[in-house]
Structure 1
Amino acid sequence: MHGPILIALSVAVGTVGWSGNMLALPVAMFFPLLWAKSPTRMVAAGVSAGYFLAASRGLPQGVANFYASDLWPGLLLWIVASLAFVIVHTTPWTDRPGRGKALRYGFAAVLMAVPPFGIVGWAHPITAGGIVFPGWGWAGFGVAAAGLIVMTTRWWPAATSALLGFWLWSAATWTGPGLPEGWRGVDLDTSLEQQRDLLATVKRATGGGARVVVLPESSLGFWTPTIDQLWQTELANSHVTVVAGAAVVERAGYDNVLVAISRGGGRILYHQRMPVPVSMWQPWLGWSGQGGRARAGFFANPVVELGGQRIAPLICYEQLIVWPVLQLMLQRPDMIVAAGNGWWTSGTSIIAIQSASTAAWARLFNLPLVAAFNSQAEE
């Protein structure tokens, strides 16, 4: 197959697979086939770049929204971020067919799933395993991984037929991840007046019988004793627990966290392990003695307990990469709680992609999912 055709197909795969349509995610599983069919290393680089750039196409607009600037900074970050994906997939590529090519793709896929490359390991095809093999758990993860590897061998027609069969069956019988009893996620418009309207929103949510209400990332702003006391007072006559995003600020920087608040008081429930690189996580500032940016916990406290249940939290960026999810699943949680702050994603499909990715992982491991997002830009 000619190089330009393969590159064009890789762009189509990245665009459709990561469109935000949950049932379209399995299209991404065709990337290994296009990579393996590349006749030269240069074409393999083009295929990798085409797929990744198409899958992450919302980044330039998102960065422009975040920094209130034009598209150029976002375009630069978009191109730079793609280099890791391209390098990881181009370096081990070989034109020799057989087991060696399959092992090399497997090596590249693992590198893009774990740090350091996994920090920018967006659009990983393994995420689609939850759509093709819902409820299969670790067995489904293993079969999906094996399917991706087989796509790089001469048995790719059999792998394609099998994956298509399971995909069509899944699409015909698809049900999304359930909501745990007594839990409710609340999406917010960030034009709300912060604390007063948040309290009113929570009270409306509890009217439906919810015992735990989840609010989006950063919904509480800075977590201070004053905010803690305000919420504790307002919840004094209620049995509800509020799980909400906040920031804990210290001299060296800040932690992006989820807090749990009830009439008995508030506590930090979870520290984000992987903040958004560049915009939030800037380790080079620490190397130069500067502070003020988000800290990364990497492999810290993956599962937390609340009300006798083991909760797997995922804050925003963690929903787009692989290793935070796999670390959580190794701890056998009872549910996934996903919070995001998407005010900066206006005009992109980033929120839809996050939602599809998180739902795919929840269905793979047959776990209930509670999600809450800020989805509108500030006015």
Structure 2
Amino acid sequence: MPGRSSHSTHDRIRSAILIALAIIIGAIGWSGFVLALPAAMLFPALWAMSASRWAAALVSAGYFLAASRGLPQGVANFYAADLWPGLLLWLAASASFVIVHVMLWTGRPGKAQSEAGRAARYLVAAVLMALPPFGITGWAQPITAAGVLFPGWGWWGLIATAAGLAMMTSRSWPAAAVVLTGFWFWSAASWTAPTLPEGWKGVDIELGQSLGREASLQHHRDLIATVLSFSESSTRYVVLPESALGFWTPTVERVWRDALRDRDITVIAGAAVLESRGYDNVLVAISAREARIFYRERMPVPGSMWQPWRAWTGYAGGARAHLFANPVVGAGGNRIAALICYEQLIVWPALQSMLQAPEIIVATGNGWWTSGTSIVAIQQASTIAWAKLFGLPLVSAFNR
């Protein structure tokens, strides 16, 4: 009995240490600094070291909740409410991550074959959290660190990172950590930001929550003046943030096309297109010659924008999710991977676009509701990592 009690105490102490470390690496890896992303790659080792399924659940929850810690405050800002709705959504969003990792957890194996099986189980969990339906809330994926560890390696870098994550679940994790740390330091020492494609300009603005809700002519005139300030330069494409144009209507189209008359500029800007059963969150491309819907968002923010239960209950409303549509769109002969706001936090929209060999990444967001959090910084860090992994130029435009 004394021996059993001692063993139980040891397991509790080890579990407490693993949970604390999971919280720390979740907070550091997803702090919004792109070069900190590889810290998240310690998570598989902590998950694998868990003494029980219950301990693995707490390790997974600690990591995910720390990584997504800005969500309660962001939701409170969005709904102008107290923290309780955000806390409930925060816990609900963590559920899929915890459930997947708990179901696929297995105890420390005694044979090499079983150890390989555990690595395979972790990779299955990673894939499940990268793809719908679990991937809809699949934030904080360590695989995103591939862009920091192996910039320019493309799919080979993704494979190398997946192999590193698998190794972190084995007894050889210290050696794997040393090797990955070496790549991390080498990359940090020579790190450069993604390039801006020639002739493109992304415009950040600070209009707060009025963006997307302000429909006055003066609002559009102010944005037009900002765009036209680049007309004397070599800029040919100007990108404005998500929701910059508000609702996309024939009147808005006419105002913008008239303003761009005799100007060799194409504006790519966020807007909302009303449909009979809801609305589409889109990017539109506007020039003097034409105006068209450029991109329809594949994954709007669950809960606040995407509300599929409304259709299930016979009610209209909410943003539509075009889950696997338009992974690459065209502009001026360029193949563009567009990512709007929430799509930058999850894995599958970026990888789906990369399968189509884009030439430029365009990332937009409307982050006024993230005030006081690092959510926008995490979005930008993730997008930078994907751009660096595949060696692509990046254009970004955000509202705060």
The alignment status of 1:370 with 2:382, answered yes or no, reads: no
Q: Quick one: which of 89, 107, 111 aligns to 2:101?
A: 89
In structure 2, C-alpha distance between the alignment counterparts of 1:340 and 1:251, rounded to whole Å: 25
Q: Which residue of structure 2 aligns with residue 70 of structure 1? A: 82
The alignment status of 1:356 with 2:381, answered yes or no, reads: yes
Q: Which amino acid aligns with 1:233?
A: D
Q: Which runs of 5+ in 1 are unaligned?
A: none
Larger Rg: 2
Q: Quick one: which of 126, 133, 144 aligns to 1:109?
A: 126
In structure 2, C-alpha distance between the alignment counterparts of 1:201 and 1:347, rounded to whole Å: 27
In structure 2, C-alpha distance between the alignment counterparts of 1:157 and 1:42, rounded to whole Å: 24
Cα distance, 1:162 vs. partner?
Answer: 0.9
Q: Which residue of structure 2 aligns with residue 45 of structure 1? A: 57
Cα distance, 1:335 vs. partner?
Answer: 0.7
1:247-326 alignment to 2 at 5 Å?
247-326=272-351
Q: Which residue of structure 2 aligns with residue 33 of structure 1? A: 45
CA contact (8 A) 2:195 2:392 kept: yes
The alignment status of 1:132 with 2:157, answered yes or no, reads: no
CA contact (8 A) 2:135 2:348 kept: yes
Identical aligned pairs, as a percentage? 66
CA contact (8 A) 1:194 1:219 kept: no
SS at the partner of 2:104?
Answer: coil
Q: Which residue of structure 2 aligns with residue 180 of structure 1? A: 197
SS at the partner of 1:91?
Answer: helix
Q: Which amino acid aligns with 2:190?
A: T
1:193-208 alignment to 2 at 5 Å?
194-208=219-233
Q: Which residue of structure 1 aligns with residue 214 of structure 2? A: none
Cα distance, 1:208 vs. partner?
Answer: 3.6
Cα distance, 1:176 vs. partner?
Answer: 1.1
Q: Which amino acid aligns with 1:39?
A: A
The farther-off stretch of 199-208 and 288-297 is 199-208
Matched residues, number: 375
CA contact (8 A) 1:129 1:141 kept: yes
CA deviations over 1:299-324 (Å, ceiling 9, x no partner)? 01110011000000000000000000
CA contact (8 A) 1:177 1:369 kept: yes
The alignment status of 1:219 with 2:244, answered yes or no, reads: yes
CA contact (8 A) 2:231 2:264 kept: no
Q: Where does structure 1 differ by over 4 angstroms across 4 or more consecutive aligned residues?
A: none
In structure 1, C-alpha distance between the alignment counterparts of 2:58 and 2:255, rounded to whole Å: 55
SS at the partner of 2:28?
Answer: helix
Cα distance, 1:19 vs. partner?
Answer: 0.3
Q: Quick one: which of 353, 367, 376 aligns to 1:342?
A: 367
Q: Which runs of 5+ in 2 are unaligned?
A: 1-12, 110-114, 212-217
What TM-score does the superposition give when structure 1 sets the normalisation length? 0.98
CA deviations over 1:278-337 (Å, ceiling 9, x no partner)? 000000000111112100000011100110000000000000000001100000000100
Provide the alpha-carbon RMSD of the alignment: 1.0
Cα distance, 1:265 vs. partner?
Answer: 2.0
CA contact (8 A) 1:342 1:374 kept: yes
CA contact (8 A) 1:228 1:265 kept: no
CA deviations over 1:113-167 (Å, ceiling 9, x no partner)? 0000000000000001100100000000000011001100112122111100000
